[in-house]
Chains A and B, each alone.
Chain A
Amino acid sequence: MYLHIPSILTAYLSFFLVFVGSCLYLWKREKRDDILAYSAAEIGVLFTALTIIEGAIWGKPTWGVWWTWDARLTLTAILLLIFAGYLMLRRLTEDENRAASSAAVLGIIGFLDIPLIHMSVYWWRTLHQPPSILRPDKAPWENIAWPLLIPLLLNLAAFLFLYFYLLSLRFRFGEITAEIKALKLSRDF
Chain B
Amino acid sequence: MGPWYFVFLAYGIVWCAILIYWLMLKRRLVRAETELAELSGLEESQRNVKT
A interface, CB within 8 angstroms of B: 3, 7, 43, 46, 49-50, 53-54, 57-58, 60-61, 162, 166, 169-170, 172-173, 176-177, 179-180, 183-184, 187
Contact = CB atoms under 8 A, between A and B. Distances in A.
Interface in B18-38: 18, 21-22, 25-26, 28-29, 32-33, 35-36
Contact of B32 (A3, A162, A173, A184): A173
Given A50-B13, A169-B25, A61 B32 contact: no
A173 B6 contact: no
Given A166-B21, A173-B25, A183-B40, A54 B13 contact: yes
Contacts, number: 60
B32 A183 contact: no
Interface residues of B, number: 23
Contacts of A43: 21
A177 B32 CA distance: 7
12 contacts: A46-B17, A49-B17, A50-B13, A53-B10, A61-B1, A169-B29, A173-B28, A176-B33, A180-B32, A180-B36, A184-B39, A187-B43
B43 A162 contact: no
A169 B26 contact: yes
| A-side interface mostly | helix
Contacts of A183: 36, 39-40, 43
B10 A3 contact: yes
A58 B43 CA distance: 55
Contact of A176 (B11, B22, B36, B43): B36
Given A173-B29, A177-B32, A61 B21 contact: no
Contacts of B40: 183
A13 B21 CA distance: 19
B46 to A, nearest CB: 8
B25 A170 contact: yes
